[in-house]
Structures are given as structure tokens and as C-alpha cells.
């Protein structure tokens, strides 16, 4: 599987899209750090890049790559190689290439200009979101045989996690504002990796006071060592479960 993953990684790294993605992130990161006297302000600006652009690029690129590799996948299926190994190799190669682009484009500038706990948290969250949304993209691609439908499903998932979900949560909180919702807000944050990453980073940046009473609740839980481990564990589940479902569907799929 590692040999096949290296081949996929080598093929993707030569893509102009990956190169453009890396240069885009690197240009934005260096520009923000050069423009801001306070590195913390640059990290706040990079927060939006990590939470919006990284998931979007991961979803779209992984979906397109899967459909473009369909003939290669069919060729590998004619060989004595298990379906699980083929799909896992494609996933690992795609996620590793996107993560490498993120680490070069954002990780290197952060390490050079602001090497502290907040910077490391930003790098960790961005890498985790890359693996998570690549996993979601593969699951959507396996379920949808048509390329246009698969890309549409991937974009809808991104819209849901990045934009729509927050509106639904706010609606619930306003509708039931007379009831104690501390535990509910903690549970709802776990159902969206983007929200979970945002809360984790904002608490590291110590801006929870701007979030009011909810911020205090988040700080009490996510600010502890258990809360940090909980966040990383939930993000790991978000990367693992869709991939497991994708492998399961791929093994049963009639190609």
C-alpha cells in the first residue's frame, strides 16, 4: 500500500494545482506577517484561511482527483490488489500532498514568524481539516458515480459545514434561549469539525472573552487538558469515520 501511495503522491505533487495552492497559501501567509506588527493579528487573519479555504480546496481537489483516477483504479482492480488497499492508497496520497502544501504554505511562515502554542495549534488544526475534508470528499465520490453529481455533493457538504451549520445552531440557541444549553452547545460543536477547530483556535488565542457566556463555557471545557484531547479525538473520528464508510461502500460497489 505504501508503494502505491508514493506513486499517487508523486503524481499529485507534479500537478500545477497543488503548486498554485502552495504558492497561494505561502504568499498570503508571508504578506500577512509582513503587514502586521503583531503576529497574533496575522494569525487571526490566517484563521479564516484555515477554516474556509483549506476545507474547500481539499474537498474539490480530492473529488476531482478521484474521478480523474477512475481508469487507474479500474486498472489496479484487475491486479491482485484488494479494493481497500487501492482506495486507502489514493486517500493517503491525496491527503498527504494537500497537507504538504498546507505545511509549506502556512506552516513554514508560522514557524518562522510566530513559533508558539497558538501557531502550533493553527498548523495542527489546518492539517486535521485537510485530512477530514479529503475523507469526506472520497466518501461523496464513492457514493456518486457521476462526476458532476460528486462535485456537487462535495460543495454542498462544504457549504453545510462552513456556512449553513452555524445558522442552524444559532436558530436552535435563540429558540431555546430560556433553557440551560451549556451541554447542548458543547455537543453541537462536536458535530462540525470547522466549528470545533474554530473554538479550539480561539481559546488558544485567548479571545474567549469576546464570545460572552458561551465562551466561558467553552473555555472551562476545551481549555482543559481533557478538552484538548477531546477536540483532537473528535477531529480524528471525523477523519476516520467517513473514510471507513467510503472503503465499505467501495468494496460493495459494482465498478
**What residue ranges do the domains of the chain occupy?**
2-252
- The Cα–Cα gap between 58 and 131 comes to 8
The confidence score (pLDDT) of residue 244 equals: 94
Instruction: Encode pLDDT of 153-192 as tens digits.
Output: 999 999 999 888 877 877 877 777 666 666 777 777 788 8
Residues 233/214, Cβ–Cβ less than 8 Å: no
Phi-psi region of 146 (alpha: psi -120 to 50; beta: other; left: phi over 0): beta
Cα angle at 147 between 8 and 15, to 5 degrees? Answer: 35
The confidence score (pLDDT) of residue 255 equals: 63
Residues 135/246, Cβ–Cβ less than 8 Å: yes
Show Cβ contacts of residue 188 under 8 Å, excluding neighbours closer than 6 positions. 169, 172, 195
Amino acid at each position: 500500500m505504501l508503494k502505491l501511495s508514493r506513486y499517487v503522491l508523486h503524481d499529485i505533487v507534479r500537478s500545477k494545482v497543488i503548486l498554485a495552492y502552495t504558492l497561494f497559501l505561502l504568499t498570503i501567509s508571508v504578506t500577512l506577517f509582513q503587514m502586521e506588527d503583531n503576529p497574533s493579528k496575522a494569525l487571526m487573519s490566517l484563521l479564516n484561511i484555515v477554516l474556509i479555504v483549506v476545507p474547500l480546496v481539499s474537498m474539490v481537489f480530492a473529488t476531482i482527483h478521484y474521478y480523474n483516477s477512475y481508469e487507474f483504479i479500474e486498472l489496479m482492480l484487475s491486479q491482485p490488489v484488494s479494493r481497500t488497499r487501492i482506495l486507502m492508497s489514493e486517500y493517503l496520497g491525496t491527503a498527504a500532498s494537500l497537507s504538504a502544501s498546507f505545511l509549506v504554505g502556512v506552516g513554514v511562515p508560522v514557524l518562522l514568524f510566530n513559533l508558539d502554542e497558538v501557531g502550533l495549534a493553527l498548523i495542527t488544526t489546518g492539517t486535521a481539516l485537510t485530512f477530514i475534508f479529503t475523507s469526506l470528499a472520497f466518501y461523496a465520490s464513492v457514493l456518486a458515480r457521476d462526476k458532476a453529481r460528486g462535485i456537487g455533493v462535495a460543495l454542498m457538504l462544504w457549504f453545510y459545514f462552513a456556512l449553513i451549520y452555524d445558522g442552524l445552531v444559532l436558530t436552535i440557541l435563540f429558540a431555546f434561549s430560556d433553557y440551560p444549553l451549556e451541554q447542548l452547545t458543547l455537543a453541537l460543536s462536536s458535530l462540525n469539525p470547522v466549528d470545533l477547530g474554530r473554538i479550539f483556535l480561539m481559546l488558544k488565542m485567548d479571545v474567549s472573552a469576546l464570545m460572552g457566556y458561551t465562551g466561558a463555557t467553552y473555555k472551562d471545557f476545551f481549555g482543559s487538558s481533557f478538552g484538548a484531547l477531546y477536540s483532537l479525538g473528535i477531529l480524528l473520528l471525523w477523519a476516520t469515520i467517513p473514510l471507513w464508510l467510503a472503503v465499505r461502500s467501495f468494496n460493495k460497489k459494482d465498478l
